[in-house]
């Protein structure tokens, strides 16, 4: 199989993927951590079509998580990838694409199944809609089974917005607040593995947990769990002058995603089915403070008999992305 886009989520999936597949990855620069995991790396760049020629006919399956460019209305990167894959006698049998639930746009807090018409409101979400369209056309022209994993806010113990809470960025008052949806990075990684086996042809899946919470409640729960002051609240008019356009864009969309298709068709069982379980896991994962009984002059702990001075170093954690 071929991986295009080796970010944090995909790296979390690699241990399971390498047990099932011979894995190739498109990379701009060679990465020793991927080598340790048994991934065959191919140097190339989606912005330079000539570097992609080796990908044609290479793999039966493709996991595509590379984002579109940061500007423009389309996704030329996905277009170049598909043009390369099409230039071969054999096409991939399946493609899984990690998209975003931003393709639905602002739904006014309504419950959102995968059948809801797409109405992306931001340039970055419209680029994702364009990418999905290119992939749908590719799957429709041949025998490639293309599945779309639409992900909301991705979090994990090492990717929480705690710095925003520490800055004291304001949140919306309850009357102006919006519903947000979440998925733990480990569960999204597992969804990638499962979708490669069970994903339907030209089928989209909302990959989210069972929580639909107001944005303010999400940040309050994080603040309480990590003993931080809760962020102040402000009206929508007041935050317009205090937050970046990026943060404001997230406050402009409200939806409650439905995930029944994910559970029924993919059979996905979430390790973290609610944000509360994910936050609890993040709290448990915090490093323990240094023991007060071990000061500067404490004698070093003895070396494990199974790992002497000449022992090989342990491999890097697959959860560390770019």
What number is the average pLDDT over the span 3-21?
97
Residue 306: pLDDT above 80? Answer: no
306 compared with 168, residue with greater pLDDT: 168
Residue-level pLDDT at 283 = 96
Determine the average pLDDT of the residues in 281-286: 93
pLDDT at 287: 78
| 47: β partners | none
Question: Given this model, what pLDDT does residue 289 score?
Answer: 65
Task: List the single range of 226-230, 259-263, 296-300, 308-312 with lowest mean pLDDT.
Answer: 308-312
May I ask the CATH class of domain 2-160+181-211+256-272? alpha beta
Q: Note the pLDDT of residue 301.
A: 41
Threshold 0.85, pTM exceeds: yes
Percent of the chain with pLDDT over 70: 89
User: Given a cut of 50, is residue 114 above it in pLDDT?
Assistant: yes
Query: Looking at residue 290, what is its pLDDT?
Result: 59
- pLDDT value at residue 291: 54
3-state secondary structure the chain: CEEECCCHHHHHHHHHHHHHCCCEEEECCCCHHHHHCCCEEEECECCEHHHHHHHCCCCCEEEECCCCCCCCCCCHHHHHHHHHHHCCCCCCCEEEEEEEHHHHCCCCCCEECCCCCCCCCCHHHHHHHHHHHHHHHHHHHCCCEEEEEEECEEECCCCCCHHHHHHCCCEECHHHCCEEEEEEHHHHHHHHHHHHHHCCCCEEEECCCCCEEEHHHHHHHHHHHCCCCCCCEECHHHHCCCCCHHHHHHCCCCCEECCHHHHHHCCCCCCCCCHHHHHHHHHHCCCCCCCCCCCCCCCCCCCCCCCCCCCCCCCCCCCCCC
Output the six-digit token pair for 221: 């729960």
Whole-angstrom Cα distance, residue 65 to residue 12?
Answer: 13
The HSE-up count of residue 173 (CA atoms within 13 Å, CB side) is 6
Give mean pLDDT, residues 227-247: 94
Q: Which range, of 73-77, 187-191, 299-303, averages the lowest pLDDT?
A: 299-303
Could you state, in order of their start, the residue ranges of all structural domains in the chain? 2-160+181-211+256-272
Q: How far apart are CA 272 and CA 259, in angstroms?
A: 14
- pLDDT tens, position by position, 29-46: 999 999 999 999 999 999
Q: Give how far Cα 18 sits from Cα of 15, 84, 110, 140, Å.
A: 5, 24, 39, 29
Given a cut of 80, whether residue 207 has pLDDT beyond it is yes
In sequence order, what are the residues at sequence separation of 6 or more whose Cβ sits closer than 8 angstroms to the Cβ of residue 168? 229, 231, 232
Average pLDDT of the chain, as a whole number: 91
Residue 102: pLDDT over 60: yes
Check residue 10 and give its pLDDT. 98
């Amino acid at each position: 199989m071929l991986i295009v886009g080796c970010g944090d989520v995909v790296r979390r999936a690699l241990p399971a993927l390498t047990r099932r597949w011979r894995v190739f990855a498109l990379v701009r620069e060679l990465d020793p951590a991927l080598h340790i995991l048994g991934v065959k790396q191919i140097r190339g760049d989606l912005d330079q079509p000539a570097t992609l020629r080796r990908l044609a006919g290479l793999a039966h399956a493709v996991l595509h998580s590379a984002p579109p460019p940061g500007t423009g209305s389309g996704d030329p990167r996905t277009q170049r990838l598909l043009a390369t894959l099409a230039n071969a006698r054999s096409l991939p049998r399946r493609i899984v694409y990690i998209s975003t639930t931003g393709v639905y746009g602002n739904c006014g807090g309504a419950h959102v199944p995968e059948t809801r018409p797409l109405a992306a409101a931001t340039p970055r979400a419209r680029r994702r809609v364009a990418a999905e369209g290119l992939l749908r056309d590719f799957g429709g022209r041949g025998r490639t089974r293309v599945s779309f994993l639409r992900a909301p806010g991705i979090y994990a113990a090492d990717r929480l917005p705690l710095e925003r809470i520490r800055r004291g960025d304001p949140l919306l008052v309850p009357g102006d607040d919006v519903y947000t949806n979440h998925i733990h990075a480990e569960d999204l990684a597992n969804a990638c593995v499962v979708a490669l086996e069970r994903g339907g042809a030209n089928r989209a899946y909302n990959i989210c947990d069972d929580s639909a919470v107001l944005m303010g409640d999400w940040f309050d729960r994080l603040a309480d769990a990590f003993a931080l002051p809760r962020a102040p609240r402000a009206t929508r008019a007041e935050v317009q002058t205090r937050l970046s356009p990026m943060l404001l864009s997230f406050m402009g969309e409200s939806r409650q995603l439905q995930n029944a298709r994910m559970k029924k068709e993919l059979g996905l069982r979430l390790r973290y089915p609610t944000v509360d379980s994910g936050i609890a896991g993040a709290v448990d994962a915090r490093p323990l403070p240094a023991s007060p009984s071990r000061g500067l002059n404490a004698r070093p702990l003895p070396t494990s008999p199974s790992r002497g001075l000449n022992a090989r170093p342990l491999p890097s954690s697959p959860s560390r992305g770019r």
